[in-house]
Structure 1
Amino acid sequence: MYCNGLELVKGATNYMVPLKLTESLKREIRSLNRTHACETIKIALLYVAPGQWSEAEILSNTPSDTSLSYRNFVQSLGWPVPLATFGGFTGKLERDGSDGATCPYFSDEGIEVAFHEVTSMPTSADDPRQLKKKRHIGNDHVHIIWNESNHNYRPETISGDFGNVQIQIRPLEPGEYGIGIYHESRLKPFGPLTNGMVVSASALPDAARATAINGHRRVLQTLVKAYTHPFVIRQEMINRIVERYSSAES
């Protein structure tokens, strides 16, 4: 008994490879289907209110604590997707409501970005450290910080081994935003945003998202040494399936 086969492309020709249907083949096909065809990136998004300094204060912020300019910025980074029913990448956010109802999301033909937006995650009155939020934020390589306090955001504010790239955005004059970039010294520079730059409101969302994506890739290439495009991973999986389960019968 055989499944319908695996369609491959060689040169300009599509051809079918008959596969021997076994339980192990079914498992490998399921694994292939779970492997994203797009590059997937999760990015932390934090709001710092006036006068806030500590991790606990920042992680405890709710939507009502934020400014209109910050909410507009979040909306311009992507669009909200319902965690309970969304079929795309959600950055490991739970679908049962414990991580909120929605998350900001962006995609194009080759990438999916899920934002761990702190204020949209439920704030627990019983946990001043907000460890459920911290579980996500503390494992993100890139943090975008919208800073409305009267001081520079300290890179060590969110404790942990991640936060290797931090993009700080500070409102200046109406319609202008100052940029601060922190990254580990082993990382080569990336952009388009650079430290000390002043950016207009219209240019900010696309530039901030692009810088966060480039920073994430730089971390994987340099620190994790594990950056492989999903197309390559899926091709390797397909090649392995063909090698193990192809049959001469048609």
Structure 2
Amino acid sequence: MEISSPQQGMREGPGKPPPDKDEAPSRTSSRIRLEEVLAQPGPYPQVVLPSSGTYWDEHAMDADHHYLTNNSNKFETDETATYYRRYFLGNEHWTFFGEDEVHGPVVVTYKREVISSQENFRVLLRLKSGTHHATIINLGDYPTPAKMVKRLKEELTVERFYPVVTPEGPELILAYDEHVLKNHFKFGLIYQRFGQTMEEQLFSNRCHVAALEEFLCLMGQRVKLKDHEGFKGGLDTQFGQTGEESIYEKFREKEIMFHVSTLLPYKENDPQQLERKRHIGNDMVAIVFQETNTPFAPDMIASHFLHAYIVVQPIEPCTPNTRYRVSVTARSDVPFFGPTLPPTSTFEKSPHFKEFLLTKLINAEIACYKAERFAKLEMRTRSSLLCALVDDLRMKTNEFLGVTKVPETPKVETTGNKFREIVRSVLIGRKNPDTPGMLKKPIINNTNTLVAVTPASARSKGSGSSSGARTPTSSPDTTPNTMALSESDDSSLNSMDIDGHPHPLNEDSDTGLESMSSAETPHKLSLQCPLCGNNEDGVCALHADPETIMRQVETLKHEINKLKCDKLDLLRQNVTCQREIKKLKEKELKLGGELTSATKEIVRLQSLLKDLGTGQVSAV
């Protein structure tokens, strides 16, 4: 029995087209390996790994090793991202931020706790490398943020910490901490028929068998894409360009959209079926549903994003005894993820199998983010977010306290020197039209503030920094120049080609890089303008109009002329004062001479009086 989508035709045979001249060596080797396996009598292994060691698979030995410790259907999310909401929000706590010369911005949050009559401090330390959580004791009589930071990371050296004093602080911090939490996932689902050994064959299957339809009904509900209101997963819900139906499921408050190869549009004149691969090839995790016992090689599909595959093979499909054999393979830098396969790797068709498989898919994508390719992007994104968080906390604190921002490195310079620098910069800019900041080159103001969705319950009571009603810069409701880190309908990591090939600006591509698009760009493109100094909003608006620049220069010239006139007035006053001083000195000399003459006259008169007194006594 064959099942096809409304736009699909008859089932095609498993013919093997000749290899492309430009076929990658790895794909050629995978085809040769699979053909060698198929040349042997069955049964065949579900997964055939490359000899290069670039992939690992989860088999019975691994299952026996991990099964007892990781057999629960639990999401392997980063629990640290939930600690601020769990332990701090709504309780009295303090947050400080600072700067380390090596590690960059530092944001530390702590609160006091009493456990078994002993005072402890629960601390969250946010760095570019990640968020660290610990409970610290014995901090002495004067616990300080510097001491707490040293306990967690001894190599940190922060000269000064600044307190967060704003009602919007908890909302900003919560948005940063929870940006790694995802509620939207998209997974590929590839249909493999017996004997298919090439990527083109997998994506060229026009329709699927009843066994796959039975599996799809178990995994989710078939929905009409037209006007679909749930998570879209990058599929077109308005014009039907990505097919009419797809498989969608809500699972433990998470939304999942499957990119089913046979439900995506089939192009007659496209042997590679790039429209299908555009979606599935840009997912991180994919299910490979095998029609029957046939081998699959993880390196047979060329993709920068696909890092993990879950291979499902039906046993006695469309019967009351339907079972599924499952294998798992992933790239070597993807860590192990649960739940663990049972030793038999076989499941009965049941809700338990559905729960296991969906949990396995979600944990697989979480593990893929730890692979080297995505870990670098995630670190750059986290770095940009942390810088944005510190800037927002500083700005909101200054606004709340009514403090005018003072430049970190104030520079005292005379007006004349500044004017000469301005004129020199303008003249150099005219002579060299390629100088940054001039009009000859297009300027893009890319002030990306990457933000996550802030829950409505992010309100704190009794804290030094609690959420307010005002929408902060890092709020998801702020539309201009923001790129939300919350899960997008297009993908989990869209709009960035890892190999450096840019996508068109408005292309609705499902590349899998949208949430980290700013990881490749600076947090703020801020060019220093010689006319207005540091402009925090990006490129100075004066550069947009040369006439405005000249008007500004003329204004500064008038100010300089005015200062020169004031200087001349001061010089005149100085000359007048010097003349007065000269006159006073001359008068002082004249008075000094008169005083000397008067003193001599007094001495003479005293001597005369003395002589007169002596003569009168003799006469008597």
Return the TM-score normalized by structure 1.
0.73
Identity %: 27
Q: CA deviation at 1:145?
A: 0.5
Query: Which of 167, 170, 174 matches 2:310?
Result: 167
What CA distance in whole angstroms lies between the structure 2 residues aligned with 1:244 and 1:204?
44
Deviations 1:70-93 (A, max 9, x none): 111111111122222012211101
The match for 1:79 is 221
Matches within 5 A, 1:145-224: 145-172=288-315, 175-194=322-341, 197-202=345-350, 203-223=352-372, 224=374
Query: Which of 198, 204, 210 matches 1:60?
Result: 204
Deviations 1:179-200 (A, max 9, x none): 1110122222212253861111
The match for 1:69 is 211
**Given the alignment of the two structures, is residue 242 of structure 1 paired with residue 471 of structure 2, yes or no?**
yes
Query: Which of 248, 251, 259 matches 1:116?
Result: 259
What CA distance in whole angstroms lies between the structure 1 residues aligned with 2:473 and 2:312?
51
Q: CA deviation at 1:112?
A: 0.9
The match for 2:501 is none
Q: CA deviation at 1:216?
A: 0.7
- Output the amino acid matched with 1:164: H
What CA distance in whole angstroms lies between the structure 2 residues aligned with 1:171 and 1:75?
14
- The 1:184–1:244 alpha-carbon spacing in structure 2 relative to 1, beyond 3 Å, is closer
Q: 3-state SS of the aligned residue for 1:88?
A: coil
Q: Is the CA contact (8 Å cut-off) linking 1:52 and 1:149 kept in structure 2?
A: no
Query: Which of 192, 195, 215 matches 1:51?
Result: 195
Q: Is the CA contact (8 Å cut-off) linking 2:187 and 2:286 kept in structure 1?
A: yes
Q: 3-state SS of the aligned residue for 1:234?
A: coil
Please, which moves more after superposition, 103-112 or 188-197? 188-197
Q: CA deviation at 1:149?
A: 4.5
Deviations 1:118-171 (A, max 9, x none): 101111111111000010011010010111254321101221112201000122
Q: Is the CA contact (8 Å cut-off) linking 1:51 and 1:150 kept in structure 2?
A: no
Q: CA deviation at 1:215?
A: 0.3
The match for 2:90 is 11
- The 1:124–1:190 alpha-carbon spacing in structure 2 relative to 1, beyond 3 Å, is same
- The 1:235–1:50 alpha-carbon spacing in structure 2 relative to 1, beyond 3 Å, is same
Please, which moves more after superposition, 113-122 or 154-163? 154-163
What CA distance in whole angstroms lies between the structure 1 residues aligned with 2:362 and 2:230?
18
- The 1:168–1:234 alpha-carbon spacing in structure 2 relative to 1, beyond 3 Å, is same
What CA distance in whole angstroms lies between the structure 2 residues aligned with 1:78 and 1:101?
16
What CA distance in whole angstroms lies between the structure 2 residues aligned with 1:90 and 1:193?
29
Q: 3-state SS of the aligned residue for 1:123?
A: coil
Which structure exhibits the higher relative contact order, with contacts defined as CA atoms closer than 8 Å and separated by 6 or more residues? 1
Q: After the TM superposition, which parts of structure 1 deviate over 4 Å for at least 4 consecutive aligned residues?
A: 236-241
- Output the amino acid matched with 2:90: G
Q: Is the CA contact (8 Å cut-off) linking 2:194 and 2:294 kept in structure 1?
A: no
Q: CA deviation at 1:244?
A: 5.1
Q: 3-state SS of the aligned residue for 2:184?
A: strand
Q: Is the CA contact (8 Å cut-off) linking 1:103 and 1:116 kept in structure 2?
A: yes
What CA distance in whole angstroms lies between the structure 1 residues aligned with 2:187 and 2:454?
27
| Larger of the two Rg values belongs to structure | 2
- The 1:244–1:125 alpha-carbon spacing in structure 2 relative to 1, beyond 3 Å, is closer
Q: Is the CA contact (8 Å cut-off) linking 2:233 and 2:257 kept in structure 1?
A: yes
Q: Is the CA contact (8 Å cut-off) linking 2:312 and 2:327 kept in structure 1?
A: yes
What CA distance in whole angstroms lies between the structure 2 residues aligned with 1:92 and 1:143?
15
Q: Is the CA contact (8 Å cut-off) linking 1:44 and 1:117 kept in structure 2?
A: yes
Q: Is the CA contact (8 Å cut-off) linking 2:334 and 2:370 kept in structure 1?
A: no
Q: Is the CA contact (8 Å cut-off) linking 1:50 and 1:149 kept in structure 2?
A: yes
- The 1:108–1:212 alpha-carbon spacing in structure 2 relative to 1, beyond 3 Å, is closer
In structure 1, the gaps of 5 or more residues are 1-9, 18-34, 246-250
Aligned residues: 210
The match for 1:233 is 452
Return the TM-score normalized by structure 2.
0.31
Please, which moves more after superposition, 172-181 or 92-101? 172-181
What CA distance in whole angstroms lies between the structure 1 residues aligned with 2:335 and 2:303?
22
The match for 1:20 is none
In structure 2, the gaps of 5 or more residues are 1-88, 92-166, 168-178, 382-450, 459-466, 475-620
Please, which moves more after superposition, 190-199 or 173-182? 190-199
- Output the amino acid matched with 2:359: A
RMSD (CA atoms): 3.2
**Is the strand fraction higher in 1 or 2?**
1
Q: CA deviation at 1:105?
A: 0.7
Q: CA deviation at 1:206?
A: 2.5
- Output the amino acid matched with 1:200: E
Q: Is the CA contact (8 Å cut-off) linking 2:311 and 2:327 kept in structure 1?
A: yes
